[in-house]
């Protein structure tokens, strides 16, 4: 059976593992309705639209309580 001639250095080992275990950055697109950045093939978290249709009804923002 083959035996390594030299011990693998820490740098070589870490470089090999780092290239193999990379995490890809998530793909991002713009919402066609509001222009907010979102993940593709998912409902827009800002406006609730998907594929040009309103899927999730977003509640209107509550008015700020006035002091006085």
d(CA 53, CA 64): 29
d(CA 42, CA 26): 13
Alpha helices, H only, the chain: 10-20
Count CA atoms within 13 Å of residue 35 on its CB side.
Answer: 0
Q: What is the mean pLDDT of the chain?
A: 88
Please answer whether residues 29 and 40 qualify as being in contact, where contact means their C-beta atoms are separated by less than 8 angstroms.
yes
**pTM for the full predicted model:** 0.53
Q: Quick one: what percent of the chain has pLDDT higher than 70?
A: 96
The conformation of residue 19, written as its DSSP 8-state character, comes to: H
Q: What is the pLDDT of residues 22-50, one digit of tens each?
A: 888 899 999 998 999 999 999 999 889 99
Domain limits of the chain? 26-58
């Amino acid at each position: 059976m083959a035996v390594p001639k030299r011990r693998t250095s820490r740098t070589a080992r870490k470089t090999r593992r780092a290239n193999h275990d990379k995490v890809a950055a998530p793909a991002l697109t713009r919402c066609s309705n509001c222009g907010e950045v979102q993940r593709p093939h998912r409902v827009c978290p800002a406006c609730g639209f998907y594929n040009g249709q309103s899927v999730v009804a977003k509640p209107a923002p509550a008015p700020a309580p006035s002091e006085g």
